[in-house]
């Protein structure tokens, strides 16, 4: 007899919400405020290179190297604009500081149309909700301004936890917060490795959100795959009783 479901854990970015505009557009908009006129395409390419470099050199916001989310992201922003021929250190610091804080604003995020209704349905089913996200410490504020924070009993970010998905250790921390066996917990996310495989590796019921039908891994059964969050409550209901 399977253990009844009691908790649902959630990934956030690209599962419940997404960045409203491209990074290139967002960064160029901020650059315009300090008198810089740059190409969003060029800035986007520079950002991707800077992000890859910093992620490789200092994974998970550099928390094991004495950094934090803000200093890590400001380094990414400075390197992005340096590649676009912006060399003034004071200007780079100003833009980096402003972008870090501006990404907490609701206007920069779009909540998916099925998110709030699905979270409400889960609560109606008597399930408790938590967050396990590869994100920095701004996540709580972002969820608050987007009207989602009140749905969750706890948040675990990779910056706070000191470890990121797909490490099973971050899910172990979440299970401690839930206070129930893994078999009584589900997890929903859009990343095959970080969300689906990692959660299932510790015995959690992992579901893979595939809004754009881009995942074709043969080891994900149809009943574990969601094309929309609206499909989730009926799947959870089967595991509650």
Q: How much is the pLDDT for 143? A: 98
Question: Exposed, middle or buried: residue 201 (CB in 10 Å: 0-12, 13-18, 19+)?
Answer: middle
With 60 as the cut, is the pLDDT of residue 70 above it? yes
Location of structure tokens 């994974």: 59
> Which is nearest to 205 in space by CA: 229, 228, 188, 222?
188
d(CA 62, CA 87): 24
With 90 as the cut, is the pLDDT of residue 66 above it? yes
Average pLDDT, integer, range 30-37: 94
With 70 as the cut, is the pLDDT of residue 89 above it? yes
CATH among 1.10.150.720, 3.20.20.140, 3.40.50.620, 3.40.50.1000 for 20-108 = 1.10.150.720
List, in order, residues 6 or more apart from 94 with CB less than 8 Å away.
34
Q: Which residues in the chain belong to E strands, given as ranges?
A: 7-10, 17-19, 109-111, 128-133, 154-157, 185-189, 205-209, 225-226
Mean pLDDT of the chain: 96
Domain covering 7-16+112-238: architecture:
3-Layer(aba) Sandwich (3.40)
Q: How much is the pLDDT for 6? A: 97
d(CA 89, CA 197): 42
With 80 as the cut, is the pLDDT of residue 221 above it? yes
Would residue 69 be called left, alpha or beta, if left means φ above 0 and alpha means ψ between -120 and 50 degrees? alpha
First to last CA, the chain: 11
Q: Domain segments of the chain: what residues?
A: 7-16+112-238, 20-108
With 80 as the cut, is the pLDDT of residue 18 above it? yes
User: pTM here?
Assistant: 0.95
Q: How much is the pLDDT for 32? A: 96
Q: How much is the pLDDT for 1? A: 56
Whether 148 contacts 116, CB under 8 Å? yes
With 90 as the cut, is the pLDDT of residue 124 above it? yes
Give pLDDT tens digits for 144-190. 999 999 999 999 999 999 999 999 999 999 999 999 999 999 999 99
Percentage of the chain exceeding pLDDT 70: 99
């Amino acid at each position: 007899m399977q253990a009844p479901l009691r908790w649902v854990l959630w990934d956030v970015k690209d599962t419940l919400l997404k960045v409203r505009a491209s990074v290139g557009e967002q960064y160029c908009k901020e650059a315009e405020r300090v008198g810089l006129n740059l190409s969003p395409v060029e800035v986007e390419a520079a950002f991707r290179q800077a992000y890859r470099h910093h992620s490789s050199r200092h994974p998970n916001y550099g928390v094991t190297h004495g950094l934090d989310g803000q200093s890590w992201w400001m380094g990414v922003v400075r390197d992005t604009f340096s590649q676009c021929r912006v060399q003034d250190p004071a200007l780079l610091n100003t833009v980096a500081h402003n972008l870090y804080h501006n990404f907490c604003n609701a206007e920069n995020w779009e909540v998916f149309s099925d998110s709030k209704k699905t979270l409400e349905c889960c609560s109606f089913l008597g399930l408790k909700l938590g967050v396990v996200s590869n994100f920095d410490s701004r996540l709580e504020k972002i969820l608050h301004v987007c009207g989602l924070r009140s749905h969750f009993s706890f948040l675990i970010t990779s910056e706070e936890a000191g470890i990121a998905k797909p490490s099973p250790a971050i899910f172990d921390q979440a299970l401690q917060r839930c206070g129930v066996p893994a078999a009584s917990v589900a997890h929903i996310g859009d990343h095959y490795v970080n969300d689906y495989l990692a959660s299932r590796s510790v015995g959690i019921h992992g579901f893979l959100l595939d809004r754009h039908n881009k995942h074709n891994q043969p080891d994900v059964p149809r009943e574990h795959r969601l094309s929309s969050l609206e499909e989730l409550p009926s799947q959870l209901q089967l595991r509650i009783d």
